[in-house]
Amino acid sequence: MGSLAEMIEFLEAADRDLGLFYGKLEEVQRHFDSNVNNVIAVREAEIGFLQDAFLAGPGQFPESFRREFDEQSRAQAVLFDAQLDGLRLKRDEKARLLSELESRRNEHAKTVRQHSTGLDEREEDLKRRVAELETDISAYNARIQEMSSGLGFMLNLFKMKRIERQKMDLLAQRDKIVPEIEAVRAGWQEKATEFAAREAALHDEWNILRVETAFVSEKYAHLLKDREVLIRKSAFLAAAGKLSGDSCRLMPEQPPVESVSCRRCRIKNRTQRFFCLYCGERFAADRPDVAGSLVELGELNQVHASLEEGIRECAAFLGLLKGLRDGLAAFKKSVESVKQSQDKYSALSKLKIEVPPACRDYTRQLAELGPRVDVEYMYLHPREFAAHYRKLGEGLLAPARIEGFFKQMGDELNRTTKEQWG
Alpha-carbon gap, residue 350 to 343, rounded angstroms: 8
In whole angstroms, what is the distance from residue 286 CA to residue 301 CA?
A: 16
User: Domain end: 231, 259, 285, which one?
Assistant: 231
* Percentage with pLDDT > 90 across the chain: 35
When the pLDDT of each residue in the chain is averaged and rounded to a whole number, the result is 80
Rounded Cα distance, 422 and 417, in Å: 7
Give the separation between CA 61 and CA 43, rounded to whole angstroms: 18
Return the CATH number at 180. 1.10.287.1490
pLDDT at 359: 94
Query: What pLDDT is attached to residue 10?
Result: 94
Residue 200 in any domain: the answer is yes
Q: Packing angle between helix 63-147 and helix 227-241, nearest 10 degrees?
A: 130
The answer, yes or no, to whether residue 417 has pLDDT greater than 50, is yes
Structural domains counted in the chain = 2
Q: What is the number of other CB atoms lying within 10 angstroms of the CB of residue 242?
A: 14
Angle among Cα 291, 293, 295 to the nearest 5 degrees reads 75
3-state class of 413 per DSSP? helix
Beta strands in 81-169 (DSSP E): none
Whether the predicted pLDDT of 206 surpasses 70: yes
Q: How confident is the model at residue 80 (pLDDT cuts 50, 70, 90)?
A: very high
Query: How confident is the model at residue 329, as a pLDDT?
Result: 95
> Do 221 and 357 reside in the same domain of the chain?
no
* CA 189 – CA 242 distance, rounded (Å): 70
Residues 197 and 323 in one domain: no
Q: How many CA atoms lie within 13 A of 128 on its CB side?
A: 6
What is the pLDDT confidence band of residue 132, given thresholds at 50, 70 and 90? low
Q: Quick check: is 51 in a domain?
A: no
Domain boundary among 211, 231, 251: 231
Note whether 317 and 406 are same-domain residues.
Answer: yes
Contact 392, 369 (CB under 8 A): yes
Say whether pLDDT at 123 is over 80: no
pLDDT band at 208 (very low <50, low <70, confident <90, very high): confident
| Residues ≥6 apart with Cβ < 8 Å to 329 | 15
How do residues 290-348 score in pLDDT, each as one tens digit? 888 898 899 899 999 999 999 998 888 888 889 999 999 999 999 999 999 888 888 88
Q: How many CA atoms lie within 13 A of 360 on its CB side?
A: 9
Give the span between the Cα atoms of 147 and 6, in whole angstroms: 105
Model pLDDT for residues 8-61, shown as the tens digit of each residue: 999 999 999 999 888 888 888 888 999 999 999 999 999 999 999 998 999 989
Quick one: pLDDT at residue 85?
93
> How would you classify the pairing of strands 260-261 and 268-269?
antiparallel
Short-list 282, 262, 290, 377, CA closest to 32: 377
Apex 270 CA angle, 298 and 254, nearest 5? 55
Does residue 215 sit in the same domain as residue 84?
A: yes
Residue positions counted in the chain: 422
Instruction: Check whether residue 76 and residue 223 sit in a common domain.
Output: yes
Q: How confident is the model at residue 410 (pLDDT cuts 50, 70, 90)?
A: very high
Contact 44, 52 (CB under 8 A): no
DSSP 8-state symbol, 255: P
Is residue 256 a part of any domain in this protein?
no
pLDDT in tens, 246-303: 544 544 455 555 557 888 888 887 666 788 888 888 887 788 888 888 988 998 999 9
pLDDT for 133 beyond 60? no
Query: Given pLDDT bands bounded at 50, 70 and 90, which one contains residue 370?
Result: confident
Q: What average pLDDT does this structure show over 177-203?
A: 65
pLDDT grade for 158, boundaries at 50, 70 and 90: very low
pLDDT tens digit string along 209-234? 888 888 999 999 999 999 999 999 99
Q: Which of 231, 253, 274 is the last residue of a domain?
A: 231
Long-range CB contacts for residues 223-226, cutoff 8 Å, separation at least 24 = 223/80, 223/83, 223/84, 223/87, 224/84
Section 112-131 average pLDDT:
58
Confidence of residue 191 (pLDDT cuts 50, 70, 90): low
Give the lowest-confidence range in 106-120, 205-219, 225-239, 360-374: 106-120
Could you tell me where the DSSP H helices lie in 226-289? Answer: 227-241
**Residue 338 contacts residue 4 (beta carbons within 8 Å):** yes
Compute φ and ψ for 253, nearest 5 degrees: -60, 145
| 29 and 78, same domain (yes or no) | no
Would residue 239 count as lying in a domain? no
Report helix angle 4-56 to 382-393, nearest 10. 150
Q: State residue 75's pLDDT score.
A: 95
In the chain, the percentage of residues whose pLDDT exceeds 70 is 73
Name which residue leads in pLDDT, 109 or 421.
421
Q: Which domain holds residue 353?
A: 4-46+302-421
